[in-house]
Amino acid sequence: MIDLHLHLDGSIDPGDMPRLAELSEAALPQVGEEELRSLLSVEPDCRNLGEYLEKFQLPLRVLQTGESMEFAVYRLLERLDGQGLCHAEIRFAPQLHLEKGMTQEEAVSAAASGLRRGIRDFRLSAGLILCCMRGERGRAENMETVAVAERFLGRGVCALDLAGNEAAYPTDRFSDVFHRAMEREIPLVIHAGEAAGADSVRTALELGAVRIGHGIHAASDEGVMEILRDRGIFLELCYSSNLQTRAVGSPEEYPLERFLGRGIRATVNTDNMTVSGTSLKREYLLLQERFGLGVEALKGLAINAADAAFVTEGQRTALKGRIEREFPQWLRAGGR
């Protein structure tokens, strides 16, 4: 009932697109909601992360003003609350929202205001994770993201991330950005071991990541798995997304059991509810079907997420209490 790895732009409800387009003064393709949903969702024959990432162009077009950011975050919290989640950490890259003249600070401030309003109105807690981006340009933009994260840390923002095309832009190219973040004591989570190998996870750990986004290719390196276990690093697994981007070749190769067998603490997440066409409950049910995990084992993964969440110890205790009380019922109840 906790989603720690959830991208804002990849989780926009198609029904909200017209309002977001209005708020961003952007044009949408003149199609119905179902066709819009298919434009926003990945095709079954998606070949790699690069193709998957193309699905973000349309939602990003309608997230270019403060009003649209505020609305999008609020609506996402409303949906998550409706799905029975008790905590969510929503991520986005402020530097991708500047096309209409917003600054990164304004984008984050607007998202934080939607977050505050959502927390007030709904029955869940939440935080924002700001993504730096892998790419050719962007060192100045990434440094600006670090600065903005520092400014909003504890006021909506809970951590910093590195996202984008991992295969094309290796993690070690961004070490200066993360050294700066470490100096400023901003918690780090890094997408690694998704479209690149175990070395990328090793680098992310050297840079100070306390959680790894995906991390599945760590399974090919005993040494890296040992570090993950010994340091109590959490993996943010996103099963459907990993199959869609071909990060793993087939469901059988998915290394969940290897991680659990090594004592590595895994969590279950959606990555992108709309792009991947999924929900948190669906992810748990898919893992249950594929790996034959019982309800207690699945609940253990949810408890891992409570331990991994960027919350106060008081909040953590409350989240665990709610998971203990509500998880089996939540999993059984209809609706995804």
Catalytic residues: 194
Amino acid at 131: C
Give the interface segment with Zn ion, choosing from 54-62, 107-115, 150-158, 267-275 (CB under 5 A): 267-275
Q: Which residue has the tokens 């792009």?
A: 275
Cα–Cα dist 310/308, whole Å: 7
- Are the C-beta atoms of residues 63 and 69 closer than 8 Å to each other? yes
Comparing CB distances to Zn ion, the nearer of 109 and 274 is: 274
Count of residues of this chain found to bind Zn ion when the rule CB under 5 A is applied: 1
Measured at CB, which residue is nearest to Zn ion? Answer: 271
Concatenating the DSSP letter of every residue in 41-79 gives: S--TT--SHHHHHGGGHHHHHT--SHHHHHHHHHHHHHH
Task: Quote the least distance from Cβ 213 to Zn ion, whole Å.
Answer: 5
Closer of 61 and 91 to Zn ion (Cβ): 91
Q: Of 114-122, 148-156, 271-279, 314-322, which part binds Zn ion (CB under 5 A)?
A: 271-279
Name the residue among 255, 333, 251, 263 with its Cα closest to residue 289: 251
Q: How far is the CB of 8 from Zn ion (least distance, A)?
A: 11
The SS3 call for residue 295 is helix
Q: Please, what is the minimum distance in Å from the beta carbon of residue 142 to Zn ion?
A: 17
Q: Which listed range, 220-228, 249-257, 266-274, 320-328, lies at the site for Zn ion (CB under 5 A)? A: 266-274
Between 65 and 270, whose beta carbon lies closer to Zn ion?
Answer: 270
- Give the H or E element holding residue 214: strand 211-214
Which amino acid, 265? R
CB closer to Zn ion, 26 vs 76: 76
CB atoms within 10 A of CB 16: 20
Nearest approach, Cβ of 6 to Zn ion (angstroms)? 8
Interface residues with Zn ion (CB under 5 A) are 271
